[in-house]
Amino acid sequence: SEEEQSPRLFQFHKDGFLVLEQFFSAEECDGMRSQIQRIVAEMEVPPHCRTAFSTREEEQLQAQGSSDYFLTSGDKIRFFFEKGVLDEKGNFLIPKEKSVSKIGHALHAHDPVFKQITHSPKVQELGRKLGLERPVVVQSMYIFKSLLAVTPHQDATFLHTEPLGRILGFWIALEDATQENGCLWFIPGSHTNGITRRMVRAASGASTCVEFVGSEPAYDDKQFIPLPISKGGLILIHGEVVHKSELNSSESSRHAFTFHVMEAKGTTWSKENWLQPTPELPFPSLYT
């Protein structure tokens, strides 16, 4: 009902995030996990991971292949690996399913299971409660959460819009996320000061495919609060709220499915963003 929703919406606007426990069922979470297992089982190692490089020129080709693979992943299902899991021939040094750090960035468009979750009636209803008029899905990712920490950042650094404040992340825990296995941490209220850093496409011919403009300030560790969440829980993430995750110090994995939505009404998507809509995949409407 409206009455019980409004305090939560108030909380979201105040903090820049909102935890909704048990948003998805255990069955829905398990469905996503088993679908990912199928996708990984059928995965082919991308060509840029297979080259044994020797000369500087070959190394540059390798780096270029890797950056093209990333930059053109917006409308495809692509694999991003942990460091050191493949030998130079592209063979796995550890079990295949442990080698992938994330899969992106168009699961929501190309995979029936993830498409159904992204556009599920409860997600659409939540969008309407949030007052989104023309929400479109810009990207999605399946995150395996390796050992590594994710440094403090704002999503709008990577997904820039004019005006700001039009990007919203949906982060779904596919298993319990705890302080031990790397749950998310947030600075409440940090979404109101704009952004200090942007990731933009580098000029063609540059040595890297993207570069950063501006810098990330030093955040005070004491300001972060942990948001442990149970399997099936959803965290709504304002595009400018500062968040991070610590390293996974446990034996258990911490899988998550996440997607980002943009309110397209009156909004310009930056031409400098790494991610661009394509003729094959214009950003699809969240509402079906």
Amino acid, single-letter form, for residue 54 = S
Residue pLDDT, tens place only, 180-195: 999 999 999 999 999 9
Please compute the mean of the pLDDT values over residues 229-241 and round it to a whole number: 98
Decide if 31 contacts 38 (C-beta within 8 A). Answer: no
| Rounded distance between C-alpha atoms, residue 95 and residue 9, angstroms | 43
Please say if the pLDDT value at position 229 is more than 60.
Answer: yes
Please say if the pLDDT value at position 40 is more than 70.
Answer: yes
Decide if 182 contacts 246 (C-beta within 8 A). Answer: yes
Please tell me which residue, 119 or 90, carries the higher pLDDT value. Answer: 119
Q: What is the pLDDT of residue 53?
A: 78
Q: What is the pLDDT of residue 288?
A: 95
Amino acid, single-letter form, for residue 127 = G
Q: What is the pLDDT of residue 252?
A: 85
Q: Which of 156, 73, 109, 67 is nearest to 282 (CA)?
A: 109
Spell out the domain ranges in the chain: 7-269
Burial class (CB in 10 A: 0-12, 13-18, 19+), 233: buried
Q: Flag the least confident range among 11-20, 83-92, 184-193.
A: 83-92
What distance separates the 2 farthest-apart alpha carbons in the chain? 66
Q: What is the pLDDT of residue 2?
A: 53
Residues 242-268: b if buried by 16+ CB within 10 A, e if exposed: bbbbbebeeeebbbbbbbbbbbbeebe
Q: What is the pLDDT of residue 127?
A: 97
Q: Which of 81, 105, 106 is nearest to 94 (CA)?
A: 81
The dihedrals phi and psi of 202, each to the nearest 5 degrees, come to: -75, 155
The CATH architecture to which 7-269 belongs is Sandwich (2.60)
Please tell me which residue, 99 or 1, carries the higher pLDDT value. Answer: 99
**Overall pTM > 0.85:** yes
- List the beta bridge partners of residue 237: 17, 169
3-state DSSP call for residue 202? coil
Q: What is the pLDDT of residue 4?
A: 55
Please say if the pLDDT value at position 147 is more than 80.
Answer: no
Q: Flag the least confident range among 122-126, 200-204, 224-228.
A: 200-204
Decide if 273 contacts 159 (C-beta within 8 A). Answer: yes
Please compute the mean of the pLDDT values over residues 220-248 and round it to a whole number: 97
Please say if the pLDDT value at position 5 is more than 70.
Answer: no
Q: Hunting for tokens 């939540």 — which residue is that?
A: 126
Q: What is the pLDDT of residue 177?
A: 96
